[in-house]
Amino acid sequence: DIQMTQSPSSLSASVGDRVTITCRASQSISIYLNWYQQKPGKAPKLLIYAASSLQSGVPSRFSGSGSGTDFTLTITSLQPEDFAAYYCQQNYNTPWTFGQGTKVEIK
Amino acid sequence: QVQLQESGPGLVKPSETLSLTCTVSGASISNYYWSWSRQLPGKGLEWIGYISNSGRSNYNPSLKSRVTISVDTSKNQFSLKVSSVTAADTAVYYCAREHYDSRLGLDYWGQGTLVTVSS
């Protein structure tokens, strides 16, 4: 299985901050990398697919980059509704695997 | 608007079979891939497997011998069965839509259903 490692596991930030979350794959996955946001008690929501494509309806303050093994999710100007957990997921090879998650908390 | 809704028992006894159904509205089940994932309490996400629009299934080896995913096109539903469950299978189970082109991600999810394995 391809292992996905996110960092940091958690972070504290303020409204308006720029936030960056990284995800590293245990082998090259080209651009087969997605990012999800999950709020407590809710299902994951697709934010970014194919490493850098913004899912329809997702605010443009979210962006993704990277290819191969190293990927980044960036939130410019963090908003109150962005405090949540974020997961990366590879769908290059089955079984699809997720990172362990990054919890973004209010400072 | 695409919507997915999980249904099934919230409590299953150890050694029995967990059975869940996902009802899809706003999209034809014949045109996409459909998957199940789960989230153990307070933990991360685990992909269980998918069934393709041609009926081909692909399961996570960690569960493969115990899992069956099937589709009922007449009802626009797909189902999950996990046999011989233990307490380690207690989780929130999610159904989701996938695509032939896997780069498009899991773009629609059900709200999730908690299944507890306990006698």
What pLDDT does residue B53 have? 86
Q: Mean of the per-residue pLDDT values for chain B?
A: 96
Q: What angle do CA B63, A91, B94 make, to 5 degrees?
A: 50
What is the secondary structure of B2-70 as a DSSP string?
Answer: -EEEEES-SEE-TTS-EEEEEEEESS-GGGSEEEEEEE-TTS-EEEEEEE-TTS-EEE-TTTGGGEEEE
CB contact under 8 A, A44 and B44: no
Nearest CB partner across the interface for B103, out of A1, A31, A44: A31
Helices H / strands E in chain A, number of each: 0, 11
Q: Given pLDDT bands bounded at 50, 70 and 90, which one contains residue B77?
A: very high
Task: Report the residue of A88, A96, A103 to disrupt the B interface, i.e. the one with the largest count of B CBs within 10 Å.
Answer: A96
Number of other residues whose CB lies within 10 A of the CB of residue A41: 8
Q: What is the pLDDT of residues B41-68, one digit of tens each?
A: 888 899 999 999 889 999 999 998 999 9
The residue assigned the tokens 């569960």 is: B63
Tell me which chain B residue has its CA closest to the CA of residue A102.
B44
Euclidean distance between CA atoms A85 and B87, whole angstroms: 25
Euclidean distance between CA atoms A93 and B23, whole angstroms: 27
Which chain A residues contact residue B111 at CB under 8 A?
42-43
Q: A30 and B102 in contact (C-beta within 8 Å)?
A: no
Q: What angle do CA B8, B9, B12 make, to 5 degrees?
A: 135
Euclidean distance between CA atoms B79 and B8, whole angstroms: 10
- pLDDT truncated to tens, each residue of chain A (107 aa)? 999 999 999 999 999 999 999 999 999 999 999 999 999 999 999 999 999 999 999 999 999 999 999 999 999 999 999 999 999 999 999 999 999 999 999 88
Euclidean distance between CA atoms B62 and A58, whole angstroms: 33
Euclidean distance between CA atoms A92 and B47, whole angstroms: 13
- Kindly tell me if the per-residue pLDDT of B32 is higher than 90: yes
Euclidean distance between CA atoms B48 and B25, whole angstroms: 22
Tell me which chain A residue has its CA closest to the CA of residue B109.
A43
The upper half-sphere exposure of residue B103, i.e. CA atoms within 13 Å in the direction of its Cβ, equals 11
Q: What is the CA radius of gyration of chain B?
A: 13
What pLDDT does residue A106 have? 87
